[in-house]
Structure 1
Amino acid sequence: METNVDKNRIEGAVKEVKGSVKEAIGKVTGNKATEAEGKATKVEGKVQGAVGKVADKVRDAGK
């Protein structure tokens, strides 16, 4: 069975992890700007991952 995952799903997951780490660093250091940037990156990753899921479903529907 071949599994082709849209690159947006992978990149989105990476952004979510990076955002979570940055958010945690911001919380630990008390740096609200870093915490906010981390949250924003995490949301961006979730959106990109959702785009990838849609692309996968469209591609799979065409098979």
Structure 2
Amino acid sequence: MRLKTLLILAAVAVAYLLGARAGRERYEQITEAVTSFWNAPDVKKARKKAKAQAQKARKRLS
């Protein structure tokens, strides 16, 4: 019984380690995609335009 429990715990530990490694790689892929999107020229233009519009609206409200 003790050997069976030890084998199950070892299998769980290995599965956790392999899953954590795969999760980190996927996280890196997602952050790279988001960063490239955020720094795209069209997105930068849209952010700049939205910021200018927000400042304009804030001035009108003051």
Q: TM-score, normalised by structure 2?
A: 0.51
Which residue of 2 is the match for residue 61 of structure 1? 32
Q: Which has the higher contact order (CA 8 A, sep 6+)?
A: 1
RMSD across aligned C-alpha pairs, in angstroms?
A: 1.3
CA displacement, residues 36-59 of structure 1 (integer Å, 9 cap, x when unaligned): 110011000111111110110000
Matches within 5 A, 1:41-52: 41-52=12-23
> In the alignment, is residue 38 of structure 1 matched against residue 9 of structure 2?
yes
Q: Which runs of 5+ in 2 are unaligned?
A: 35-62
Q: TM-score, normalised by structure 1?
A: 0.50
Given residue 45 of structure 1, which amino acid in structure 2 is its aligned partner?
Answer: Y
Matches within 5 A, 1:5-20: none
Q: Quick check: which one's helix share is greater?
A: 2
> What's the % identity of the aligned pairs?
12
In our comparison, the structure showing a higher alpha carbon Rg is 2
Aligned length: 34
